[in-house]
Amino acid sequence: MPEYKNGKLLLLFIGFLIIYLLPGIYGHTPWKQDENYSFGIIQTMYDTGNWLVPINAGEPFMEKPPLYYWVATITASLFSGVMPLHDAARTATLFFSVVNFCFFVLLARRVFNSDSFSDSRIWIAFAIYISAPGLLRHSHDMFTDVALTAGATIGLYGIVGLILRQKVVMSAVWLCIGTTVTMLSKGVFVPGLLWITLLLSPLFLSQCRDKSFWYPVLLAGIGAFILILPWPVMLYLQHPDLFMVWFWENNIGRFLGFSVAKLGAKAAVSRIPEAIALFALPAGIMAALYFIRHPLKRLRNPTEFSMVLFPLLGLVMLQTSATSRALYLLPFIAPLAILSTRLLLVIKPRVLRYFTHFAVALWSLVILLVWALYLLKLNDPQNSWLAQYDHWLPANYSLHLALVPFGSALIMTLLWCCRSRIIAKASPALQAAFSWGLGITVSWGVIFTLLVGWIDYTKGYQEVFDELKTELAGHYQPGDCMASYRIDESEAPMLYYFTGILPHRQQTFSKPESCHWFIVRSDSLQTPPEGMTLFWSGNRPGEKRNIMAVYKDASR
**Contact yes or no for 117/104 (Cβ under 8 A):** no
76 within domain boundaries: no
pLDDT at 248: 84
Q: Note the pLDDT of residue 247.
A: 87
* pLDDT tens for each residue of 7-48: 788 999 999 999 999 999 999 999 987 999 999 999 999 999
* Residues 432 and 527 grouped into a single domain: no
Same domain, 390 and 437: yes
pLDDT at 2 over 50: no
Are residue 330 and residue 399 in the same domain, yes or no?
no
The answer to whether position 37 is within a domain reads no
Does any domain span residue 249? yes
Same domain? For 123 and 237 the reply is: yes
Do residues 381 and 437 share a domain?
yes
Last residue of a domain, one of 344, 363, 398: 344
Q: Determine, yes or no, domain membership for 306.
A: yes
Q: Is the pLDDT of residue 479 over 50?
A: yes
Write down the pLDDT at residue 541: 86
Residue 238 shares a structural domain with residue 330: yes
Q: Total domain count for the chain?
A: 3
Structural domain contains residue 182:
yes
Helix (H), strand (E) at residue 533: strand 532-538
The DSSP symbol for 381 reads T
CA quadruple 424, 425, 426, 427: dihedral positive or negative? positive
Are residues 389 and 304 part of one domain?
no
Question: Above 50 in pLDDT, residue 551?
Answer: yes
Is-contact 515 483, C-beta < 8 A?
yes
> Positive or negative, the Cα torsion across 283, 284, 289, 292?
positive
Question: Is residue 22 a part of any domain in this protein?
Answer: no
If you average pLDDT over residues 257-264, what whole number do you get? 60
Per the structure, the complete domain to which residue 379 belongs is given by 352-459
**61 touches 38 (CB < 8 A):** no
Amino acid identity for residue 545 in this structure? R
Q: 61 in a domain, yes or no?
A: no
Q: Tell me what percent of the residues of the chain surpass a pLDDT of 70.
A: 97
Q: What are phi and psi of 251, to 5 degrees?
A: -100, -65
pLDDT value for 422: 79
Say whether both 131 and 274 belong to one domain. Answer: yes
Which residue, 423, 440, 459, sits at the end of a domain? 459
| Domain shared by 451 and 472, yes or no | no
Instruction: Identify which of 224, 207, 209 has the alpha carbon closest to the alpha carbon of residue 172.
Output: 224
Residue 262: per-residue pLDDT: 61
Same domain for 399 and 315: no
Quickly list H helices, 345-483. 349-379, 403-417, 419-422, 428-450, 452-459, 462-472
Residue 473, pLDDT score: 94
Residues whose CB falls within 8 Å of the CB of residue 338, separated by 6 or more in sequence, listed in order = 107, 108, 111, 112, 125, 129, 307
Question: For 218-232, what is each residue's pLDDT tens digit?
Answer: 999 999 999 999 999
User: Span 493-512, mean pLDDT?
Assistant: 95
Same domain (yes/no): 448, 479: no
Q: Which is more confident, 324 or 131?
A: 131
Residue 116 lies in a domain: yes
Q: Which of 344, 360, 395 is the last residue of a domain?
A: 344
Do 474 and 515 belong together in one domain? yes
